[in-house]
């Protein structure tokens, strides 16, 4: 490889395809064309005299040599990012696209409400937000940064806890007037419940109806927390919702508020290599600070803490 005639631009095209597995996605991220990306990959393979990708109808899949070459290319990417930072005299002015994978509720009811400050401070960083987490795979670099309920147990990942959040049972006042207010967990069995589709739950942290009562069976199921919320607001039944979402809707009333509180956590995770990329670090720092600043939105305050204020 010492005599290979290729440029850093070629490596950027290689990494974009390696991370997305699709020429069209890589072209969009690089603000280039499908044909240009294909030509750059062909040129790189010719220069290195190795096959980096297997082409199939679903996209580009790294060969064993391609997987090895990713590590080399990413190290060069990290050094380039550091050099650019040094040349800009420590400026946080970064460029590029950062793809974030985050749960639908976190994305729609919190994160997107706080993006203006980030965009104003970092006008040259473009954010791609993916909320269908079950199709994302950090191991294939389909997302640069992920907000998850359950961090990876193993692998080359960096993870840190963003914060805690609480969930409670809610129903509309109209529904509870018609069907009665439950006074115990056993009473919940007489009510319609709204929840996730069981065989589509992509994180153990979302499988929480059994934590409330082992015999609760949902009457309406959806993979979307927004659809569950809409069904609840339309009086279809009771639903377990994060309190930071439910608090936005005054028509929702707590059910067994003193007895049932579920505790969950949001984690931030990314591939260890990507953590060193400047634009990725900028996003990670922003998310961490944002959660720390708004921690009170996500948890129910203890009575003692509330009385002390």
Residue position matching structure tokens 């204020």:
309
Please indicate, yes or no, whether residues 147 and 202 belong to a single structural domain of this protein. Answer: no
Q: What integer is the mean pLDDT of 113-136? A: 84
Residue 271 lies in a domain: yes
Both 14 and 80 in one domain: the answer is yes
Return d(Cα 161, Cα 154) in angstroms, integer. Answer: 16
> pTM score, two decimals?
0.67
Give strand pairing partners of 163.
Answer: 266
Is 293 a member of any domain?
yes
- In order of 95, 99, 180, 186, 225, the CA distances from 84 in angstroms are 10, 21, 63, 62, 41
CATH, residue 150 = 3.40.190.10
Is 156 in the same domain as 177? no
Residue 146 pairs in a beta bridge with: 101, 269
In which band, very low, low, confident or very high, does the pLDDT at 302 lie, cut at 50, 70 and 90? low
| 282 and 155 in a common domain | yes
> Are both 192 and 244 inside the same structural domain?
yes
In total, how many domains does the chain have? 3
In a domain, 309, yes or no: no
- Looking at the DSSP bridge assignments, the partners of residue 53 are 62
Q: Is residue 2 part of a domain?
A: no
Q: Judge if 82 and 103 occupy the same domain.
A: no
**Is residue 1 a part of any domain in this protein?**
no
Question: Tell me: the pLDDT tens digits for 13-23?
Answer: 999 999 889 99
179, containing H or E segment: helix 173-179
DSSP string for 240-274: EEEHHHHTT-TTEEEESTTT--EEEEEEEEEEHHH
Q: What is the pLDDT of residue 140?
A: 55
CA–CA gap between residue 211 and residue 168 (Å, rounded): 12
Residues 242 and 285 occupy one common structural domain: no
**Residues 137 and 286 placed together within one structural domain of the fold:** yes
Please check whether residues 153 and 275 belong to one and the same domain.
yes
69 and 83 together in one domain: yes
SS3 state of residue 201: coil
Please provide the average confidence, as pLDDT, over all residues in the chain: 86
- Per-residue burial over 65-87, b if 16 or more Cβ lie within 10 Å, else e, is ebeebbeebbeebbeebeeebee
Domain of residue 68 covers 8-87
Q: How many Cα neighbours within 13 Å face the side chain of 249? A: 20
Length of the chain: 309
Residue where a domain terminates, one of 24, 58, 87: 87
| 151: in domain | yes
The three-state secondary structure class of 292 is helix
The whole-number average pLDDT for the span 197-203 is 78
Residue 28 reports pLDDT greater than 80: yes
Confidence (pLDDT) at 85: 57
Q: Is the pLDDT of residue 97 over 80?
A: yes
| Structure tokens belonging to residue 218 | 């949902």
Instruction: Tell me which of 31-35, 79-83, 156-160, 172-176 is least confident.
Output: 79-83
- Beta-carbon contacts of residue 8 (< 8 Å; ≥ 6 apart): 76, 80
* CATH at 70: 1.10.10.10
Check whether residue 157 and residue 282 sit in a common domain: yes
What is the percent of the chain with per-residue pLDDT over 90, rounded to a whole number? 57
Model pLDDT, residue 307: 41
Q: Strands 238-242 and 193-195: what pairing? A: parallel
């Amino acid at each position: 490889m010492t005599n290979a005639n290729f440029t850093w631009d070629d490596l950027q095209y290689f990494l974009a395809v390696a991370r997305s597995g699709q020429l069209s996605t890589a072209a969009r991220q690089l603000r280039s064309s499908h044909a240009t990306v294909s030509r750059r990959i062909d040129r790189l393979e010719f220069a290195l005299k190795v096959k980096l990708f297997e082409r199939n109808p679903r996209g580009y899949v790294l060969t064993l040599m391609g997987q090895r070459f990713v590590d080399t290319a990413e190290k060069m990417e990290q050094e380039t990012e550091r050099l650019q930072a040094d040349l800009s005299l420590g400026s946080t002015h970064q460029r590029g696209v950062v793809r974030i994978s985050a749960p639908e509720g976190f994305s729609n009811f919190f994160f997107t409400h706080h993006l203006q400050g980030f965009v104003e401070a970092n006008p040259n960083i473009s954010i791609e937000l993916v909320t269908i987490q079950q199709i994302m795979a950090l191991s294939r670099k389909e997302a640069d940064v992920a907000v998850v309920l359950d961090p990876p147990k193993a692998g080359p990942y960096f993870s840190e806890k963003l914060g805690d959040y609480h969930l409670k049972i809610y129903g509309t006042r109209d529904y509870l007037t018609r069907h009665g207010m439950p006074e115990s967990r056993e009473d919940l069995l007489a009510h319609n419940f709204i929840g996730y589709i069981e065989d589509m739950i992509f994180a153990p942290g979302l499988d929480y109806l059994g934590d409330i009562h082992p015999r609760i069976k949902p009457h309406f199921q959806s993979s979307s927390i927004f659809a569950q919320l809409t069904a609840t607001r339309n009086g279809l039944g009771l639903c377990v919702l994060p309190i930071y979402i439910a608090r936005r809707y005054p028509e929702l009333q707590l059910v067994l508020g003193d007895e049932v509180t579920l505790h969950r956590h949001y984690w931030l995770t990314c591939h260890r290599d990507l953590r060193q990329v400047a634009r990725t670090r900028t996003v990670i720092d922003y998310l961490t600070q944002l959660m720390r600043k708004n921690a009170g939105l996500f948890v129910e305050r203890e009575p003692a803490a509330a009385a002390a204020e």
